[in-house]
Amino acid sequence: MSLANLISGRQRWFALFFFLSLLGGHAFAKSETTDRPKELVIGLLPGESAPTVMRLNEPLRAYLEKRLGIPVKLIVGANYAATGEALRFGRLDIAYLGPVTYILQSRRARLEPFARPSHAVVGPTFQAVIIVPKDSPAKSLADLKGGEIAFGDPASTSGTWVPRYQLLDAGLVSGRDYKLRVLGAHDAVALAVANKKVAAGGLSMPIYKRLLKEGKLNAEAVRVLAESPAIPEYLWTFREGLDPAFKEEIRQAFIHVDDPEALKVFRAEAFIPAVDSDVDRVRIWIDAIRAANPDAIPPAK
């Protein structure tokens, strides 16, 4: 091979290498960032009926739309897993996820929590409750042995996992010491207990109190048997690949929200920064439940 041909071949090789490097760099950059979306799509969990969730979150939607200057759309998932998976697959830009939903989905995608509500006195925590009919003879969780206990969505933190941990801490394992009944939503659990369809039910304390306040649950029909330990609050979470500059706009919009109506549904004084380690306590509870009973939670009926 002549020297001229050798040089020409090397030039072609370097030209091809340079082109592929540019192409690869562009593809990598595109996977890491995108243009600012023309609208913000927010995912919400169906802790109650979809119309109720949409109504309660409308003030926040309106606030964000005004602050960001683009349309903001709310989407309530068919169940908790649907909302988490929609965020993981990029069909949502941000979502409000309970600790368990966040933990399960973040194992399969690089989700990024960025804000959580903080409350007077208790800070960024809330509680679950286990309730029984008013005239139930149960005086402690141990007294529920042998009964049927209702829970919300299988991925609900305060509607399933924390109440199950409370029962486990009292020595009761689902399938062995009580029958687990999945009803899908907090309000459905409360009504099942009030109507004596089940021996007890686990649900979010804030939702329980609001159902009583709004008259949707008869205070004379139920009582609280046990309150849970403090639970790390829900996390506002970015999907993977969202434009960094746009993420910062959203982050600042949440951290500086000053509209009382936008904060009202969260019972919050403010939204504060959030990081992955905020929910480590819940990871411990999940591991304890799975160690005692590795069987999957049965599907809602």
DSSP 198-263: SSEEEEEHHHHHHHHHTTSS-TTTEEEEEEPPPEEPPEEEEPTT--HHHHHHHHHHHHT---HHHH
pLDDT band at 297 (very low <50, low <70, confident <90, very high): low
**Residue 26 or 43, more confident:** 43
Percentage of residues of the chain with pLDDT beyond 70:
87
pLDDT band at 16 (very low <50, low <70, confident <90, very high): very low
In this prediction, residues 223-250 reach a mean pLDDT of: 97
What letter would DSSP give residue 133? E
Look over the chain and give the mean of its residue pLDDT values, rounded to a whole number.
88
Return the biggest CA–CA distance within the chain: 100
Cα–Cα distance, 285 to 276 (Å, whole number): 16
In this prediction, residues 275-300 reach a mean pLDDT of: 85
In this prediction, residues 118-133 reach a mean pLDDT of: 97
* Residue 18 near residue 25 (C-beta atoms within 8 A): no
- Whether residue 25 is predicted with pLDDT greater than 50 in this model: the reply is no
* Residue 300 near residue 179 (C-beta atoms within 8 A): no
Coil, strand, or helix at residue 6?
helix
CA distance readout (Å), 32 to 26, 110, 125, 167, 243? 10, 11, 32, 43, 8
Query: What's the whole-model pTM score?
Result: 0.84
Residue type, 130: I
pLDDT band at 192 (very low <50, low <70, confident <90, very high): very high
Q: List, for residues 35-94, the tens digit of each pLDDT value.
A: 788 999 999 999 999 999 999 999 999 999 999 999 999 999 999 999 999 999 999 999
* Residue 250 near residue 155 (C-beta atoms within 8 A): no
Q: What is the pLDDT of residue 8?
A: 41
Domains of the chain: 40-124+232-288 (3.40.190.10), 128-229 (3.40.190.10)
- Whether residue 264 is predicted with pLDDT greater than 90 in this model: the reply is yes
pLDDT band at 34 (very low <50, low <70, confident <90, very high): low
Q: What is the pLDDT of residue 299?
A: 53
In this prediction, residues 95-100 reach a mean pLDDT of: 97
In this prediction, residues 95-113 reach a mean pLDDT of: 94
Secondary structure element (H or E) that encloses residue 46, with its range:
none
Cα–Cα distance, 168 to 292 (Å, whole number): 8
pLDDT band at 29 (very low <50, low <70, confident <90, very high): very low
Phi, psi (deg, nearest 5) at residue 96: -100, 100
Cα–Cα distance, 209 to 187 (Å, whole number): 11
* Residue 137 CB coordination number (10 Å): 7
For the chain, how big is the Rg over CA atoms in Å? 24
Residue type, 155: A
Residue ranges in 78-161 assigned as alpha helix (H): 80-88, 99-106
**Residue 284 or 15, more confident:** 284
- What would the DSSP string read from start to end of 92-110? -SEEEE-HHHHHHHHTTS-
Burial class (CB in 10 A: 0-12, 13-18, 19+), 223: middle
**Geometric angle at alpha carbon 226, from 115 and 174, rounded to 5°:** 90
* Residue 50 CB coordination number (10 Å): 14
